[in-house]
Amino acid sequence: MSFFSNLFGGKKTDTPPTTGEAIQKLRETEEMLIKKQEFLEKKIEQEIGTAKKHGTKNKRAAIQALKRKKRYEKQLQQIDGTLSTIEMQREALEGANTNTAVLTTMKNAADALKSAHQHMDVDQVHDMMDDIAEQQDVAKEISDAISNPVAFGGDVDEEELEAELEALEQEELDNQLLGVTTPTPDELPVVPSAEPVAARNKPVAKPRARAEEDDDMLKELEAWAS
Please tell me the predicted confidence (pLDDT) of residue 203.
52
Please tell me the predicted confidence (pLDDT) of residue 213.
66
Please list, in sequence order, all residues whose beta carbon lies within 8 angstroms of the beta carbon of residue 27, skipping any fewer than 6 positions away: 90
d(CA 203, CA 142): 85
* CB-based contact 40:72 (threshold 8 Å): yes
Domain map (residue ranges) of the chain: 21-120
d(CA 193, CA 198): 15
pTM over 0.95: no
- Give 3-state DSSP helix, strand, coil % of the chain, rounded to 5: 75, 0, 25
Please tell me the predicted confidence (pLDDT) of residue 76.
94
Please tell me the predicted confidence (pLDDT) of residue 3.
46
Please list, in sequence order, all residues whose beta carbon lies within 8 angstroms of the beta carbon of residue 23, skipping any fewer than 6 positions away: 90, 93, 94, 97
- Look at residues 41, 64, 44 and name the one whose alpha carbon lies nearest to residue 54: 64
Please tell me the predicted confidence (pLDDT) of residue 160.
82
Please tell me the predicted confidence (pLDDT) of residue 6.
55
- What is the CATH T-level fold of the domain 21-120, as seen in this structure? Helix Hairpins (1.10.287)
Please tell me the predicted confidence (pLDDT) of residue 1.
46
d(CA 74, CA 29): 19
91 to 22, 102, 131, 151, 190: CA distances (angstroms):
11, 16, 56, 84, 111
Please tell me the predicted confidence (pLDDT) of residue 144.
84
Please list, in sequence order, all residues whose beta carbon lies within 8 angstroms of the beta carbon of residue 94, skipping any fewer than 6 positions away: 19, 23
106 to 11, 34, 93, 102: CA distances (angstroms):
35, 38, 20, 6
Query: Which residues in the chain come in under a pLDDT of 50?
Result: 1, 3, 198, 204-206
Please tell me the predicted confidence (pLDDT) of residue 73.
94
Torsion of Cα atoms, 131 then 134 then 140 then 142, to 10°: -90
